[in-house]
Amino acid sequence: MKTEQLELARIRKIFNEKYGELSENEIQKEILLSQKITNLKLEKIRSNTSNIVWFLIVIPTIFGFIAAILMS
């Protein structure tokens, strides 16, 4: 608990040093940039998840159906 508070205090100090003198407009631009970066990362994760689903579930299922048809 104590170490978490110390870590948060350190993060707050760094944050205040970096953003303390910015105007509201500049802060809003920083937030917008942060959200844009987050959205790009989430889109990449979504794309990778889609690829994993195709390779681990859909493609083996199709091969299974083809194998079942060929064996019968």
pTM above 0.75, yes or no: no
- Give the residue among 8, 72, 70, 41 at the shortest CA–CA distance from 33: 41
Q: Are 40 and 29 contacting, i.e. CB atoms less than 8 angstroms apart?
A: no
Q: Express each pLDDT in 1-51 by its tens digit.
A: 678 888 888 988 888 888 888 888 998 998 999 999 999 999 999 999 999
Say how far apart CA 57 and CA 64 lie, in whole Å.
Answer: 11
Mean pLDDT of 45-69: 92
Identify the pLDDT of residue 47. Answer: 95
**What distance, in Å, lies between the first and last C-alpha atoms of the chain?**
64
